[in-house]
Amino acid sequence: MTEEFTDAELESFLDETLDGERAIQIEQALRRDETSDNTLLQRLSQINGRRDAGLHSLGEIWRRNQIGVPSRQDMGNHLLGVLEDAHSDYIQFRLEVLKCPFTIAMKKDLVNQHEESAEVSQKRRRKIYDSSSGYLPKRGQ
């Protein structure tokens, strides 16, 4: 059974922006087809040749220029749950269906940034409390 890969998937594979699971499937298909006429390798070569000639598909232009990737502000609003439903659904679509590596990376970055910020804030509160606890009057005095 041969797996069908779209040209868009192969272009993303060449750009190294394809979802990891799908990229593994393409690599495995390439290895399986080493002994045959390897039409998949030929397709990848054609796409690469077209790129070298300066011809680009509309989808490739969208991917390379990250058109449709939400802004950091929109992603932050999405994570806070304050974005309008249609826009939030679009971001979820990019994350879950398209598995856009740029959108996923932005989400991970914002989540990590928030966690680090919360950790720093907690340490700061603890430091202030520890440094001033001796100066506060004891209860009952």
The 10s digit of each residue's pLDDT in 124-137 is 888 877 777 666 66
The pLDDT assigned to 19 comes to 81
For residue 2, tell me if it sits in a domain. Answer: no
Query: Mean per-residue pLDDT for 85-111?
Result: 92
Q: What single-letter amino acid sits at 106? A: M
Say yes or no: 48 and 89 in one domain. Answer: no
User: What's the number of domains the chain is made of?
Assistant: 2
Distance CA 14, CA 26 (A): 11
Distance CA 103, CA 70 (A): 7
For residue 141, tell me if it sits in a domain. Answer: no
Query: Mean per-residue pLDDT for 101-116?
Result: 91
Q: Quick one: tokens of 112?
A: 């990590």
The pLDDT assigned to 134 comes to 64
Say yes or no: 14 and 48 in one domain. Answer: yes
- pLDDT higher than 60, residue 1: no
Question: Could you say which of 64, 80, 106 is where a domain stops?
Answer: 64
Give me the domain span that covers residue 56: 7-64
Say yes or no: 11 and 44 in one domain. Answer: yes
Measure CA of the first residue to CA of the last residue in the chain; give whole Å. 83
The 10s digit of each residue's pLDDT in 15-72 is 888 888 889 999 999 888 765 567 888 899 998 888 878 877 777 777 777 888 999 9
The 10s digit of each residue's pLDDT in 5-17 is 988 889 888 888 8
Residue 91, Cβ neighbours under 10 Å: how many?
21
* Among the ranges given (59-63, 71-75, 100-104), the one the predictor scored with the smallest mean pLDDT: 59-63
Say yes or no: 14 and 30 in one domain. Answer: yes
Q: What is the 3-state secondary structure (H, E, C) of 15-74?
A: HCCCCHHHHHHHHHHHHHCCCCCCHHHHHHHHHHHHHHCCCCCHHHHHHHCCCCCCCHHH
As a dihedral over the C-alpha atoms of residue 25, residue 28, residue 30, residue 31, rounded to 10 degrees, the angle is: 180
Say yes or no: 81 and 32 in one domain. Answer: no
Q: Are the C-beta atoms of residues 31 and 20 closer than 8 Å to each other?
A: no
Say yes or no: 86 and 118 in one domain. Answer: yes
What is the pTM for the complete model shown?
0.58
